[in-house]
Amino acid sequence: MVKRNSNIDKTLKNLSLNKEAPKSAFILLVLLYTITSFLTTRTSVMQGSMAIGDQMIRYNSFAGVFSMLGYICIICLVMLFRRVGYIVSMAAIILQFPLMIFNIFVRGNLHSLPGLFSSVLIIGAISIIHFNYKKVLNYQQSIREQAVTDRITGLPNRFACNELLTDLQRRGEPFVLVSVDLNDFKSINDTMGHDTGDQVLKEVARRWKDLANSLSTETVDFVARNSGDEFMLVISEFESKDAIEKTIDAYRAALEKKITIDDCDYYLTACFGYSLFPEDSDVIENIYLFSDAALHEVKKTGSGSRVMRFAPDVLNTERSLEIERKIRSALSSDKIFFHLQPQYDINHNLRGFEALARMKDDDGSMISPADFIPIAEKTGLVDRIDMRVFELAVEFLAKVSKETENDVMMSVNVSVRHLMKNNFINDIKQVLKYHEISPERIEIEITESIMIDSAEKALQRINEIKAMGMKVAIDDFGTGYSSLSYLNNFPSDLLKIDKAFIDQMSLSESSKQYVAMIISIGHILHLKVISEGVESADQVDILKNIGCDYIQGFVWGKPMPPEEAGKLVGSIKK
């Protein structure tokens, strides 16, 4: 495979060049100039005149208009096509000279005299334009070069890298973007000072630039400095994935050779994270994001040089970290809030609400609890969320009780982590006492799968909850594998049938029978049964027929802000 000329300086120069106007504009301007020159010559010798309105205009007076048009074409050529435009324009004007001189001096036709003068003047004008414009362009060029060059290392910067990637994308060429981060570079800066740090960066840059320019790898490479100790490597024209790793390895080896500055030796290592265009994504922003994500992932594990390609689960870790940060900031700035979803009995009388945690993203959009609750569980933040929602929900109960004198129920979700904390019961008691809410109005929802995993430990705590007078619901029932004996021993009050079963119910008779069976078992065990995620009137009808006690679902009410829920309670006649 023949490699494209990949000299970094040349690539940088090309990237920093002002883009020329298209060739078609050049042809059009030359053609226009030729036509206007011909028309100038023709009209200048034409006798007679034409009538415009009640005025007679002589034909030869149009010669001035055409010659002006011609000069405009010449000026455009010089400005748009610089050197080439200037040479072509000069040639076109000078070529007319012999004919004009012949006309004036041999044929004695003095009509060509003004043409000769204006040609000399336009030559002067375009020469001034060309040479001055060239200065401006050179100046612009140097500004553009500075804008794409990193000041310390002289390498292309992130902007230049971006231009290159856009160029490769436009040409449909696959490439690899490698994000590189030097390990422990900060300690060189801290212990030896920033001047030494800069010299180390320069040396790294020199080695990598030489390597890229030497064409000794199997690929075409481009190195840029991002910021601080972060670099970017763009690898293109690779024949196999092996070639990519070999190239990265060559850069790693070049870096790891001893660097000596002011008689001190430094041994550097780096981490490399990369992603492939268009295989991983055909959007450049994503390619940046993905290679950075791979880099962060690889940096998390151990020391020394390591290389990693982007994989989607890397992004999950990144996303998890991002969500964890958001949860922490929402908790510390009191931005966790709640919505309330109404629960009704089968005759559509309000039973109460389920309190559901809510959190907003920085842009104001909602982050689903399905995304942030599992992360909060993993990171141990869920008990703080649970507690916050509990406080808000009890505060709500106190407010509506005072305003409406209706004693609706409140179901709250509790994670097993929270449930098992030593101060769980105490914390809850305090909140209830503060707001003067009776525990009988609180229902603690515990998901079935959690109940199975931690049944032994949880049982004692659940007994304490029951002893206080609170109710216990088994949430998402049917998704775990609880045995009848578990259910029998578990001191719960309510079974919440998971939405998945309700969805299936109208599709087949057996699914309907299955839900009917769960309801029967619940009733045999003296439990009430609520169906979750009920979305249609048909489902309500079926549930009514098979003896379901309560309904929670979009059909009768979506989760709503507390103000709306308060109005709903207020609308009930006592």
Residues that bind ligand C2E (CB under 6 A): 341, 356-357, 368-370, 373, 382, 385-386, 389, 413-415, 445, 475-476, 532-535, 552-554, 559
CB of 223 to ligand C2E, least distance (A): 46
With CB cut-offs between 5 and 8 Å by kind, which of Mg ion, ligand C2E, none does residue 533 bind? ligand C2E
Q: Distance (Å, rounded) from C-alpha 153 to C-alpha 8?
A: 13
| Least distance (Å) between residue 521 CB and ligand C2E | 20
562 binds, among ligand C2E, Mg ion, none (CB under 5 to 8 A by kind): none
Binding partner of 105, given ligand C2E, Mg ion, none, CB within 5-8 angstroms per partner class:
none
Q: Least distance in Å: CB of 531 to ligand C2E?
A: 10
Please give the angle made by the CA atoms of 505, 506 and 507, to the nearest 5 degrees: 90
Q: Under a CB-based contact definition with an 8 Å cutoff, are residues 382 and 415 in contact?
A: yes
Q: Does 199 bind Mg ion (CB under 5 A)?
A: no
534's tokens: 């009920």
| φ, ψ (nearest 5 deg) of residue 126 | -70, -25
101's CB contacts (< 8 A; 6+ apart) are 116
CB of 2 to ligand C2E, least distance (A): 57
HSE-CB for 519 with a 13 A CA cutoff: 21
CB of 556 to ligand C2E, least distance (A): 9
CB of 412 to ligand C2E, least distance (A): 7
Name which of Mg ion, ligand C2E, none residue 373 binds, using a CB cut-off of 5 to 8 Å depending on partner kind.
ligand C2E
Binding mask 468-507 for Mg ion (x = CB under 5 A): -------xx-------------------------------
Q: What are the start-end ranges of the E strands in 399-478?
A: 409-413, 442-447, 471-477
Which of Mg ion, ligand C2E, none is residue 492 near (CB under 5 to 8 Å by kind)?
Answer: none
Maximum Cα interatomic distance, the chain, rounded to a whole number of Å: 125
CA-angle at 235, arms to 234 and 239, nearest 5°: 165
Helices 112-148 + 23-44 axis angle, to 10: 170
Phi-psi region of 383 (alpha: psi -120 to 50; beta: other; left: phi over 0): alpha
Which does residue 297 bind out of ligand C2E, Mg ion, none, counting CB within 5 to 8 angstroms by kind?
A: none
Restricted to residues 414-473, the positions that interact with Mg ion (CB under 5 A) are 445
Report what 280 binds from ligand C2E, Mg ion, none; CB cut-off 5-8 Å by kind. Answer: none
Pairwise CA distance, residues 67 & 35, whole Å: 10
Sign of the C-alpha dihedral, residues 235, 241, 243, 246? Answer: positive
CB atoms within 10 A of CB 515: 22
Stretch that binds Mg ion, among 204-212, 500-508, 524-532, 563-571 (CB under 5 A): 524-532
Choice between 535 and 564, CB closer to ligand C2E: 535
Contacted by 389, from ligand C2E, Mg ion, none: CB < 5 to 8 Å by type: ligand C2E
Does the N-terminal peptide bond of residue 278 adopt cis geometry, omega within 30 degrees of 0?
A: yes
Nearer residue to ligand C2E within complex by CB, 174 or 533: 533
CA of 492: how far to CAs of 10, 448, 528, in Å? 75, 11, 9
Complex with ligand C2E: residue 118 or 341, whichever CB lies closer: 341
Residues that bind Mg ion (CB under 5 A): 413, 445, 475-476, 532
